[in-house]
Amino acid sequence: MDLDAEAMHSAVVDANRGRAHLYLAFLRAMERRWGRDAALAVMREAIRSWGRSQGAALADGAGNRLEALLDRFIYSPDGGRMFAPEVRRCDGEGLDAQMMRCPLKEAWQEAGLSPDETALFCNVASEADHGVLEAAGFSVEIDCWKPGSTGCCTLRIRKTG
């Protein structure tokens, strides 16, 4: 079965929205058993670990070139449509981009999470990007979405060596 570009885009967005709901379900279950602090610590650890497992493939294609991260990470998986990145810098020293949309954030908002809870989940979910980029040989600082701000997370990616 061949999927056209629109159907593929919808499938990827839906998968990310599903991931947002899974994160919420995991946190709520762990919170009931072990309390909020322990649940958040486990979530962060697991999500970063999952991100690290994805980072090797990125390292193979990007090497230590920030410019290669544009197509392989910033605009992935659909040319930038899903996250609508605004690239503010991309040179030999750094890559800065703000994601203007996020299907995870949208799913949490639609699920009725408060702005503060949504911001917390954005922060927890950012562990995936930390893991991916660190495993690929880059450092990253992420300013996660906060209530009242526009867009979503801002990533500042740098070479590590």
Q: How many independent structural domains does the chain possess?
A: 1
pLDDT tens-digit series, residues 39-96: 999 999 999 999 999 888 777 655 567 888 888 899 988 889 999 999 999 988 899 9
Which of 58-62, 76-80, 97-101, 140-144 is predicted least confidently? 58-62
CATH code of the domain covering residue 36? 3.30.1380.20
Q: Which residues contact 118 (CB under 8 A, 6 or more apart)?
A: 105, 108, 109, 145, 147
Q: Which pLDDT score, from 0 to 100, does residue 61 have?
A: 58
Least Cα distance to 43 among 129, 141, 125 occurs for 125
In the predicted structure, residue 108 carries a pLDDT above the cut 90:
yes
Give CA–CA dist 85/68, Å, rounded. 15
DSSP letter for 82, please: T
Decide: 144 and 124 in contact? Cβ < 8 Å: no
% of the chain surpassing 90 pLDDT: 73
Residue 130 structural domain: 5-159
> 86 — phi, psi (to 5°)?
-110, 110
| DSSP H stretches of helix in the chain | 5-34, 36-62, 68-69, 103-110, 115-135
Q: Which pLDDT score, from 0 to 100, does residue 63 have?
A: 58
SS3 87: strand
Q: Which pLDDT score, from 0 to 100, does residue 73 have?
A: 92
Q: Which pLDDT score, from 0 to 100, does residue 116 have?
A: 97
| DSSP H stretches of helix in 63-111 | 68-69, 103-110
In the predicted structure, residue 2 carries a pLDDT above the cut 70:
no
Q: Which pLDDT score, from 0 to 100, does residue 130 have?
A: 97
The strand order across the sheet containing 138-143 reads 85-90, 94-99, 154-159, 138-143
Q: Which pLDDT score, from 0 to 100, does residue 65 have?
A: 78
Rounded to an integer, the average pLDDT of 115-141 is 95
